[in-house]
Every structure is written in C-alpha cells, then in structure tokens.
Amino acid sequence: MRAIWIDEGSDADYAKLRAHGMITSPYFSLRDPRVTRSYLDAVAAEGFTPGLFAAYNWYPTLDGAGFAEKCDAELKRIGWLNPPLCADIETHDVVYILAFLKRWRELRPKRLTFWTLEGFQGGLFAPADVLAINAARVHVVPQHYTGDMRPLAADRIAIDLIARGFDILRLWGFYDAASLPGRWEGFAFTQGRLP
C-alpha cells in the first residue's frame, strides 16, 4: 500500500501521484465538506482507492470516545462504501488512545483503520495497553519524521514498538513526501510536499 494525505481543501493530483512510485491511495480530510459520496466515486473512477484521515486535535473538547463518535458521524455524512480511516492521535495520553480504539471498534468493528503517532513513543505503553491496541486490530503507523520534518530512522522506530509487543504485521511507516525513500510502503505526508 502506498497512501498519501491530500492537503485539506485540495484535490488529488493524479498525474503527480502516478509519477511518484504509483501512489495508489489518496487520503482526504474527513471534515472537508467537499468530500462526499460523489467526490470519492470520482476518485475511484480515476483508478485510485480513496481513504479518509482525521486528527484528534481538530476537536480539542472531545475525549477519545467522543473523537471516535465524531469520526463515525462524519463517515455517515459521507456515506461512501467502506473507505479506510487514518486517525492521527499524537497525544501522550494513553487513556485517550485506548478510549478511542475501544469506542471506535464498538461503532466500526471491521473498518480498516490506521492509527498514526509520533515516532519513538513505545515507552508510553504498558504491556496491557499494547495488548488492547493489538486486540483493536488497527494498523499502527509511526511517523518517520519530527514536527519540523527532520527524518528519523525508520528501523529504530519499528524496533521501539516491536520491543513493546506491537504486532509487527500491523506496522507501517509514515514518511515525509518531500523525501520518500526509493522503496517504501505505508503513508506519505502530504501531497503538497511532493517534489
């Protein structure tokens, strides 16, 4: 899978996505009012598999369960087939993360779901937390860059999570689209940063 976040309010540049190693899955903001069933139908008609993303800090008054409910409500508004969701939850509040995952799986037990977090955060999670995250059957997508987009060592980020017990088969990378490696799988941030 090669997915990329499309900057909020922008459309996918299909030619650019094809030129950059065949990026197949453009992900759009869940809160973008333009993203509707017909909008995603048009993306699919271009031969792409669309997905959606949402960030927890868009809704600062919501707790983890509330964020899950908001994502569910927006998916209902969009009403399109079964697009995967990438939830950006970069908080260090493990209670928030676990509450989101628990409520999300109550609402959407089978939805293909990715959770992205900052790199090198394995130390936040106790063994019971990791068991709960693995049981939620979400794919974990640590970011391979810092807040100012400096690169981080992808292998060390993966080892940090694997050493804590995260399911290696559900780990993906989240790369800076401005400096994608030659061979990559996972997500790129964002289309606007592609060279």
Q: How high is the pLDDT of residue 130?
A: 98
Q: Where are the beta strands (DSSP E) in 13-165?
A: 25-29, 51-55, 85-88, 113-117, 139-142
Q: How high is the pLDDT of residue 20?
A: 87
CATH 3.30.500.10 fits 2-193, yes or no: no
| Number of other CB atoms surrounding residue 78 within 10 Å | 19
Instruction: Say if CB 140 and CB 160 are below 8 A apart.
Output: no
User: What are the residue boundaries of the structural domains of the chain, listed by start?
Assistant: 2-193
Helices (H) and strands (E) in the chain, counts: 6, 8
pTM: predicted TM-score of the whole model, two decimal places: 0.96
Q: How high is the pLDDT of residue 150?
A: 94
State how far the Cα of 90 lies from the Cα of 5, in Å rounded to an integer: 16
Q: Note the pLDDT tens digit of each residue in 128-187.
A: 999 999 999 999 999 999 999 999 999 999 999 999 999 999 999 999 999 999 889 999
Both tokens assigned to 100? 């989101």
> Any idea what DSSP says for residue 35?
-
Listed in sequence order, the residues at least 6 apart from 126 whose beta carbon sits closer than 8 Å to its beta carbon are: 94
SS3 47: coil
Residue 21: pLDDT over 90: no
**Residue with token string 């490696």:** 181
